[in-house]
Amino acid sequence: SKDTGRNAYYFYDEAMNNDAEEHLLLRNGLRLAIERGELVLHYQPQMDIRSGRMVGVEALLRWQSPTFGLVEPGRFIPVAEDSGLIVPIGAWVLEQACRQARAWQDDGLPALTVAVNLSAVQFRRDDVEATVDQALERSGLPPHCLELELTESILLQDVEQVLALVQRLRQRGMHFSIDDFGTGYSSLAYLKRLDIDKLKIDRSFVHDLDQTADAAAIVEAIVEMAHKLGLRTIAEGVESPELLDRLRDIGCDEAQGYLHARPMPAQDFSRYLHAHFHN
């Protein structure tokens, strides 16, 4: 009826206002989050499927807010990107992740690659190179132990500029992967020119791998294409042994997901590392 229609509109409108309000509250809180020490990194292992050995670790940001509690990145990263706060936050993440990886090496653990998510907003900035160099310098982490995870959306920017930047950082020894691969717009032509190491197969394809033939066909095609281009593949969101078996059959190189471990704070991850490498 007309009445319900008006109510529906009213609620929709209110929801929009609440979103805008939340956005504002989050933004104001985020502004002080770094200096107040409210940002924390959690770490999740990346496993080589054939050997079962840990080869890398992804750093995932969390915000421990006194007002909102533990805020997931899906809620505050978009706010940080819109407000430009992602720039100082991203610089903090890079340095913190590099310092932690270096600390694990100093602790006598085998060198792992630490993977850090870079927002397209960060990647667009002129000072991104200096920011990365500074994180490596201050932490003492060798560049080959750092992997930068980019999303396909960076390819919507000036492509020549992106290709040149990636190449310069690669010459210093850093690694690159394309995150959420298959969900964005990368053209194969750019992919071939982009000097990267690895494709991260999006969780949505991995999740349906054992359920739909389409998802299996997509994962198989990505792995085959990646290998032909000389790239490694890592599957995200690996939650069960069955999925891991399927991925092994397909020839996927690495796996990351709840099957091995959920993302955890640095201290817990240290214990996890010691148990993994000393058993």
The CA radius of gyration of the chain, in Å to the nearest whole number, is 20
Q: Is 179 an interacting residue with respect to ligand C2E (CB under 6 A)?
A: yes
116, β-bridge pairs: 59, 148
For 86, residues 6+ apart whose C-beta sits below 8 A from its C-beta are 77, 80, 119, 121, 122
- Among 19-27, 175-183, 208-216, 223-231, the segment contacting Ca ion (CB under 5 A): 175-183
225 to 180, 205, 256: CA distances (angstroms): 16, 16, 20
Q: Judged by CB, which is closer to ligand C2E: 72, or 210?
A: 72
Among the listed residues 55, 239, 266, 268, the single contact to ligand C2E using CB under 6 A: 239
Q: Could you tell me where the DSSP H helices lie in 2-124?
A: 2-33, 73-83, 86-106, 120-123
Q: What track of x and - describes contact with ligand C2E for positions 115 through 154 (by CB under 6 A)? A: --x-x-----------------------------------
Distance, CA of 213 to CA of 114 (rounded, Å) = 33
Site of tokens 């929009």: 16
Closer Cβ to Ca ion, 117 or 119, answer by number: 117
> Which positions from 145 through 174 interact with Ca ion, judged by CB under 5 A?
149
Nearer of residues 148 and 273 to ligand C2E, judged by Cβ: 148
* Measured distance CA(121)–CA(85) in Å, rounded: 10
**CB of 29 or CB of 152, closer to Ca ion:** 152
Binding interface with ligand C2E (CB under 6 A): 44, 60-61, 72-74, 77, 90, 93, 117, 119, 179-180, 203, 236-239, 257-258, 263
Binding interface with Ca ion (CB under 5 A): 117, 149, 179-180, 236
